[in-house]
Structure 1
Amino acid sequence: MKLKGKVVLVTGASSGFGEQICYEAAKEGAIVIVCARRIQLIGAVKECCMEYSQQPAYAYQMDVTNPEQVDHVLARIEDEVGAIDVLVNNAGYGLFEDFVNTSFEEIRNMFEVNVLGLMYITKRVAVKMIEQGSGHVINVASIAGKMATPKSSIYSATKFAVLGFSNSIRLELKSFNIHVTTVNPGPMETNFFDKADPEEVYLSKVQPFLTEPAFLARKIVKIIGKPRREINKPLIMAAAAKAYVLFPRVGDYLAGGIFNKK
């Protein structure tokens, strides 16, 4: 029960992967803070967390793209809960569309959610973690941030940015006893695809590669407090991403062929 009594904040936690991370942290006795835009859903997640942890749990409506709201929520958390020990940046979304057909408004919005919002809340929380002398930041990126495929240009670009950002702050925060871990999932059967793939064309083609959200959430919770650099699942896609770097021509073949299911 290494997490017993530790405060874990999860963004994008109203459903799907973020919800499962909340539950797995709660099962380890953590005090879970559920944050998401959909206020109608976060209350139920909070109640489940309290049942699992037998600890208090909290729910706050938060849009990571709104700095004023982030500041307000973090101030409330500091007053009502206390110091944040673990920050899980899970908020984000994707859209599978050809680049030339993607509106610039959509491009800007995806970067604001997946990158700039993540950076802003990380900066605010990291300052407090430095003061307390410990902490763990977990950024949910994607295998798409290692190997881009057609119709994921903007989503991949945002996740490449998250990887680069995480790799840098990992080194910057190491001396303050703050760990930074990047999680790079492949496809998971969550509501992510409600927007990214509404017709379920992609989802139906990648069934053999799907990762169970609860399984990956357990993996994340197990490494909290440890200097783990990355978690990459499924292994076959992680291996393909390595091949993409080591053998670029083969990588393009894989990305544009075998792993291009959109």
Structure 2
Amino acid sequence: MLSSSIDYLIEMGVNKVNTLEQKVVVITGASGGIGAHMAIKLSTYGAIPILLARSKERLGKISDQIQGQHDVYVVDVSSKDHIFEVISLILSKYGKIDIFINNAGYAVFNDFLQLSLNEIEEMMMVNYFGVVYSCKAVLPSMIERNSGHIINVASMAGKVGSAKSSAYAASKHAVLGFTNSLRQELNKTNIIVSSLNCGPIDTPLLTKADVSGDYKANLPKWFILEPETVTKAILDIIANQKVEKNIPLIANMGSKILQILPRSLDKITAKITNRK
């Protein structure tokens, strides 16, 4: 009942606060998982989702599931030349980008000493520099129109570090710091800069990151988010122009307590978070 009420309020917000009809919404990492789910759902509200990802084949499969107007581009967000080229093509074709969702990212969960430098660097390139390149490419057009919304999908790991996620957490810390600073720089414009911080999400990316399988197996099922829940959070951010949203609620509460008592709760939180 509560879930239905929340869905209703979010949908009313989308219709009343910020209609998505004919809005050009670019989503990186849209060939699967939450990116694909966002694209399909946003299309049902009349938006024009533009799907960006590295796999042409997987993009094609998601494209087949979208009924309304949409587009797909093959792009590697870790390549600044590639992302600038693709965003330029999108702007030339559509004349604007209303919402840009930086969703591309991945994780490798392992002890720091077991991670290769290549793995650490690649996570930073995709998770952090991919966001930076995209924002650098899209912001001039938004500033020119004095309108736009950038949503950076970060992680609760950017707020609370845990064992075997040092490199991933560092990349998401960077995303959060960048997002919060960029918001301050644009506070005199009509451009909104938001962050969505999620706990673990039940997608193939979690399985790929959690090579041992221990993390997912040891977490309570209610703590793992479904893609549908993340999409609802994105709709809430868009509809109500929120600058930050943290899910699930218990992780949000935990992160705030940790900011007050970081050292006192280290051992307690380690038992919960270090289950990888």
Contact kept? 2:163, 2:273, Cα under 8 Å = no
Cα distance in 2 between the residues matched to 1:248 and 1:63: 37
**Deviation for aligned residue 1:228:** 1.0
Q: 2:243 aligns with which of 224, 229, 235?
A: 229
Contact kept? 1:33, 1:46, Cα under 8 Å: no
Alignment of 1:34-183 (within 5 A): 34-49=51-66, 51=67, 54=68, 56-183=69-196
1:145·1:157 contact (CA, 8 Å) conserved in 2?
Answer: yes
Measured in 2, the distance between the counterparts of 1:251 and 1:40 equals: 46
Q: SS at the partner of 1:60? A: strand
2:30 equivalent among 5, 13, 27: 13
**Is residue 243–residue 250 contact of structure 1 (8 Å, CA) maintained in 2?**
no
Aligned residues: CA RMSD: 1.3
Q: Is the partner of 1:14 in helix, strand or coil?
A: coil
Indicate the residue corresponding to 2:40 in structure 1: 23
In 2, the alpha carbon distance for the partners of 1:238 and 1:225 equals: 21
Displacement of 1:253 in angstroms is 2.0
Matched, 1:244 2:258: yes
Offset at residue 225 of structure 1 (A): 5.6
Structure 1 residue 74 displacement after superposition: 1.2
- Structure 1 stretches lacking a partner, 5+ long: none
How many corresponding residue pairs? 258
On the 8 A contact 2:109/2:211 being kept in 1, the answer is no
Deviations 1:198-236 (A, max 9, x none): 332111112231111112212212321643121111111
Letter in 2 for 1:73: V
Secondary structure of residue in 2 paired with 1:88 = strand
Three-state SS of the structure 2 residue aligned to 1:250 is coil
% identity of equivalent residues: 40
Contact 1:98 1:150 in 2 (8 A): yes
| Contact kept? 2:75, 2:82, Cα under 8 Å | yes
